Amino acid sequence: MDSTKLSLAVAFALFVLLSSADATAKSLCCIDRVFTFGDSMTDAGNACQVQGGNCGVIPYGETYFHKPNGRWCDGRLIVDFIAQAYGLPLPPPSMAGNTREYFLNGANFAYAGSMALNISTYKKVTGLDRAGPDHSLGIQLQSFKDLLPVISQGSSVSAVMTNSLFIVGEIGGVDYIGGLVSNKPTEEMKSWTPSVVAAIGSAVNDLINLGATTLIVPGNFAIGCAPWFLTLLKSNNSGDYDSQTGCLKKLNELAVYHNTMLTQELAKQRLLHPLANIVYADYYGAQTQLILTSKLRDIPAPLYACCGAPGQPYNFSLNMQCGSKGSQVCPDPTKYISWDGNHLTEAANNVIANGILYGPYAIPPLV
């Protein structure tokens, strides 16, 4: 067996091990609550509750909840699987409750469409306008701070912070999406990265100063593999695509650039806070490995959306998105990585979560 086939076989064996691990059956130690922040890859229903959208219609939620649940997925998110691995219930959307009992096991402060940068800073850094209310990372963190007196009733802020897991992201992808839909060159967008990463680092620093001791900070996904951008930025130049994955190289290079700077920022935070456990979650690595081993996992079209526009390239069209009139859903979402062209299926989320929890995609390892 040549080295390429051997490497692929080893990778597949590792992925079978990770994906067969039942995140609900194993329980990590000593976490009472899970609090999460981020965008639509993490949002458990905040945006759906406030502004509606396709997240509130069938087939969203069909796999696990058997009805729409506010998540931009057919079922559970990566953060849901992580919470279950700690023996905790799924973190509920923060905007749906205001009592101590509601936040007893944590909450999800993520909001679909959120950026790491606030709207005013985004305008200064990018020159782009951003409409709508600001639910950026700093706003989400302030919401958590405002609720902390309620959350800590009957205990103490110190006890809550020390015994909780904080998942800060994924966040930052939307900051770049604004540039991509505005046809900004990726090289120009790389100049935004220091500001985007600094906003994430600031949130991590603030949480630790509040008393947080355990944090997971994910990097960006492989945005060049999303059916949405494969459709929007379609190229006739075969050299623009990665020969192994079929993904757009420049977009993934932007994600890698962001993730590299983020790991450097987290290294600085570890020096500032040596007693805190700051874990980098390599969503990009876990996702691309899933794509590379897709054929061995019986996923025939790893870059196609499960739910979307039938007959269209990558099964995606902005004019016929999942849940809208004329869209169709695949019969078996476990055979797909992308759910709706932008978000992942529950099956893909499960594999990535297990790679973070028990595999090589957490730095340093969680277990």
Catalytic site residue from 39, 74, 175, 340:
340
Q: Assess whether 340 carries a catalytic annotation.
A: yes
Q: Assess whether 343 carries a catalytic annotation.
A: yes
Q: How many angstroms separate the CA atoms of 367 and 365, rounded?
A: 5
Q: How many angstroms separate the CA atoms of 80 and 41, rounded?
A: 11
Angle, helices 283-292 vs 3-20, to 10°: value is 120
One-letter identity of residue 126:
T
Catalytic site residue from 135, 258, 273, 343:
343
Catalytic site residue from 19, 40, 143, 317:
40
- The catalytic site residues sit at 40, 340, 343
